[in-house]
A and B are shown apart, each in its own frame.
Chain A
Amino acid sequence: MRFNRFRAMFVARNLEFFRDRAAFGWNFLFPFLIVAGFAIVFGGKSFSEYKAGVFPVETPGIIRQRVDIPEGFQSSKYVEFVGVPSLEAGLLMLRQHKIDLLIQQGAAPYPYWTNTSSPKGYVLERLLIASLQPEDAEKRLSRRVIQGKEVRYIDWLFPGILGMNMMFSALWGVGYVVVRYRKNGVLKRLKATPLTAMEYLSAQMLSRIFLLMFTLIIVWAGCDILLSFEVAGSYFDLFVVFFLGCLSLTAMGLVLASRGTSEEFTSGVLNFISWPMMFLSGVWFSIEGAPQWVKWIAATFPLTHLLTAVRKIMNDGAGLTDVMPEIVILSAMTAVCLVLGAALFSWNE
């Protein structure tokens, strides 16, 4: 391996990224917009998980004025009350899962309707019934509260957004780009030089890692100014884990880029891999409680282990030794993908 050749490819790829203003801008803007959007939606407000329709209310939409429904139910947190003009309109909304429960305002007994196929409807119904219990019903329970600082939703979500951006950038920035280069003959031209596959692939990979880490730092700093993220652990540990995550995702991109000249086919494969990864790796929600086979699938994704480790450090204050299982798994995935990618790589087929 000659360093000069590696450096030439590394520099050329970086220049391509930095000079492609549209792609360059989007790489920063995309995660920033998502984080900012979520911050606006959820920042400092209660998170309304359930929707109860109340009728008859002449003004449709979310109602903030007092309506005649059980007081205990009305003061429930995380329930949004939606005004509905009539029973018919309410039933339609209930059937279409636009609301989770429908209640008629007025005097007791309050008629209400639920959709038996709605899990949220079931929970909301229990909440409504519980709100009508006498006050001493609580005496049969003993309440304890957890101590310490709460983890805001945005603090939990932020690593997921960064990880997702990293995943898309690694898979498409390496996988798609190398296939495009193969299709348009750039790789064939490079094959005619003394450049080795190892030099070329290393340069592609390290260039992408450099760009991903650069983007990560800029996006983190920009979002932190606006949202003041809470990092319970060390920034150095976070950097190490993100770097390892980058490495494994980029190595995965190399496997996808190892063969093929069809950009359409590669797009399909990339979507096939990236979408399940986005939904099952815990970017948006935890898969705790999902069927075991879903968890097994999730465990094959580097992003799952990256996010687990990052959240442990960021939200729980874990150190590198605490996330050693994730570090080992990410390292093993990187090694397997690198070996596979190098073994399968072809310049022109």
Chain B
Amino acid sequence: MIHSPPNAMTKNLLLEARHLVKTYKTIKAVDDVSFAIPEGICFGLLGPNGAGKTTAIEMMEGILSATSGEVYYKGAPRTREFNEEIGIQFQHTALLAFLTVRETLKTFQKLYRKTADIDSLLATCNLLDIQNQYNDKISGGQRQRLLLALALVNRPVLLFLDEPSTGLDPQARRNLWDIVLNIKSQGKTIILTTHYMEEAQLLCDEVAIMDYGRIIARGRVPDLIGEYCGKDSAGQPCPEANLETVFIKLTGRQLRE
């Protein structure tokens, strides 16, 4: 089944996953996942640890090959051109050693045909002050902003952010959210995975919740809250209900790792 939100029909579909399956020996990490993402939205992929979010997102990025299923970009199978048009911020990655922040960005800039201006990028991601520091001598927050800047170096049409704020302190996290909101306001399509429901609620237009390799719910955040946490007498979602309530209700309290 292809999960498509009501407004998917009104916008152009940018990315579509059809029946994606990823199997590692006997473990099915992703089990028949399908969804379509319209242009210009921020789409959140949520789920407990080990739910299959990163595997699903990496199949869409083309980093992992799917055991079965297809991914369509702008209505057609992906070509090499896909890599020119996407930006990725990975959950775990190292960078080329002994390069400064500016040199790292310039090195990646040279890998693309269409590129962003490095100075603007440094300013957008609050990296101007540390542009001449080695990329392994910066703080966690600065590093996440650098990884985000790298994902933006080719002015991507589609941006993948895999748990971009994990491990950041509240200040750094809010700073990162501001940057993402700024990017979003430019009309870019964003696919985001996160463990922070507050983050998903703030940034995402639509979310899908995964568990045990499958999508178990999908929709706009207020709609999901209304559907799974009931409504008050005025037909509005209960005031104390939020995305985390929905998440726990759907995935349970059992520890996954």
**Chain A residues near B (Cβ < 8 Å):** 4-5, 7-9, 11-13, 15-16, 19-20, 181, 184-186, 188-195, 348
* Smallest CB gap from A199: residue in B: B111
* Smallest CB gap from B93: residue in A: A185
Given the complex, which residues of A lie within 8 Å of B83, measured CB to CB? Answer: 192-194
Provide the bound-state CA to CA distance between A181 and B97, in Å. 10
Tell me which of B86, B93, B103, B111 contacts A186 (CB under 8 A): B93
Tell me which of A5, A20, A188 contacts B90 (CB under 8 A): A188
Using A15-B103, A195-B111 as known contacts, say yes or no to A186 and B94 having CB atoms under 8 A apart: yes
Q: Report the count of interface residues on B (CB-CB < 8 A).
A: 27
Q: Is the CB of B98 within 8 A of A19?
A: yes
Nearest CB of A to B7, in Å: 29
Nearest CB of A to B160, in Å: 8
Provide the bound-state CA to CA distance between A19 and B134, in Å. 11
Given the complex, which residues of A lie within 8 Å of B112, measured CB to CB? Answer: 193-194
Beyond A188-B93, A192-B61, A194-B84: 16 further Cβ-contacts under 8 Å? A7-B110, A8-B107, A8-B108, A8-B110, A9-B107, A15-B99, A16-B96, A16-B97, A181-B94, A184-B94, A186-B94, A192-B83, A192-B86, A193-B108, A193-B154, A194-B80
A-B contact pairs, 6 of them (CB 8 A): A9-B107, A15-B103, A20-B97, A192-B61, A193-B154, A194-B112
Interface of A, helix, strand, loop or mixed by DSSP = helix
Q: Is the CB of A185 within 8 A of B61?
A: no
Taking the complex as formed, is B253 at the interface, i.e. its CB lies under 8 A from any CB of chain A? no
Most buried by A among B61, B64, B111: B111
Taking the complex as formed, is B95 at the interface, i.e. its CB lies under 8 A from any CB of chain A? yes
Given the complex, which residues of A lie within 8 Å of B90, measured CB to CB? Answer: 185, 188-189, 192
Taking the complex as formed, is B92 at the interface, i.e. its CB lies under 8 A from any CB of chain A? yes
Nearest CB of A to B136, in Å: 11
Nearest CB of B to A41, in Å: 37
Tell me which of A13, A20, A186, A191 contacts B95 (CB under 8 A): A186
Using A185-B90, A193-B112 as known contacts, say yes or no to A12 and B80 having CB atoms under 8 A apart: no
Contact with A along B73-100 (1 / 0, CB 8 A): 0000000100110101010111111110
**Chain B residues near A (Cβ < 8 Å):** 61-64, 80, 83-84, 86, 88, 90, 92-99, 103, 107-108, 110-113, 150, 154
Using A186-B93, A189-B90 as known contacts, say yes or no to A194 and B111 having CB atoms under 8 A apart: yes
Provide the bound-state CA to CA distance between A16 and B150, in Å. 19
Nearest CB of B to A1, in Å: 13
Most buried by B among A9, A20, A193: A193
Using A12-B99, A191-B63, A348-B63 as known contacts, say yes or no to A4 and B93 having CB atoms under 8 A apart: no
Nearest CB of B to A30, in Å: 20
Nearest CB of A to B58, in Å: 9
Using A12-B99, A16-B98 as known contacts, say yes or no to A192 and B88 having CB atoms under 8 A apart: yes
Most buried by A among B84, B95, B96: B96
Provide the bound-state CA to CA distance between A81 and B49, in Å. 74
Given the complex, which residues of B lie within 8 Å of A191, measured CB to CB? Answer: 63
Given the complex, which residues of B lie within 8 Å of A184, measured CB to CB? Answer: 93-94
Q: Is the CB of A185 within 8 A of B96?
A: no
Q: Is the CB of B94 within 8 A of A12?
A: no
Most buried by B among A4, A184, A189, A192: A192
Using A12-B107, A194-B111 as known contacts, say yes or no to A189 and B93 having CB atoms under 8 A apart: yes
* Smallest CB gap from B85: residue in A: A194
Given the complex, which residues of A lie within 8 Å of B111, measured CB to CB? Answer: 4-5, 8, 190, 193-195
* Smallest CB gap from A191: residue in B: B63
Given the complex, which residues of A lie within 8 Å of B110, measured CB to CB? Answer: 4-5, 7-8
Nearest CB of B to A111, in Å: 67
Nearest CB of A to B102, in Å: 12
